[in-house]
């Protein structure tokens, strides 16, 4: 999707809110499931689009949010996953 900029932040926020998770709850899930800390401030910056996301973080976010990583990357639409 050329020209759309960083889509992952918007997708992370949408999926987090859909699951009624706070940023701290998402951070806790990431730490428990992926074994590294992603602070709430980092998640805020990701959701605002002011921070890029590394590949291992995309995987951790998708596992913690229980969604396909391609959905977070904007490669598929939500209805294709659900």
Please write the tens of the pLDDT for every residue from 3-56: 456 899 999 999 999 999 999 999 999 999 999 999 999 999 999 999 999 999
Contact 15, 74 (CB under 8 A): no
Contact 80, 65 (CB under 8 A): no
SS3 76: coil
- Non-local (6+) Cβ contacts of 8 within 8 A are 46, 53, 58, 61, 72, 73, 74
37 or 82, greater pLDDT: 37
Q: Which CATH superfamily is domain 8-76 in?
A: lambda repressor-like DNA-binding domains (1.10.260.40)
Total-model pTM: 0.88
């Amino acid at each position: 999707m050329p020209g759309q900029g960083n889509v992952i932040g918007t997708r992370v926020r949408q999926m987090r809110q859909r699951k009624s998770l706070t940023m701290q709850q998402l951070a806790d899930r990431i730490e428990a499931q992926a074994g590294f800390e992603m602070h709430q401030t980092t998640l805020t910056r990701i959701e605002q689009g002011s921070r890029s996301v590394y590949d291992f973080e995309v995987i951790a976010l998708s596992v913690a949010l229980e969604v396909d990583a391609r959905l977070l990357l904007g490669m598929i639409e939500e209805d294709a996953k659900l």
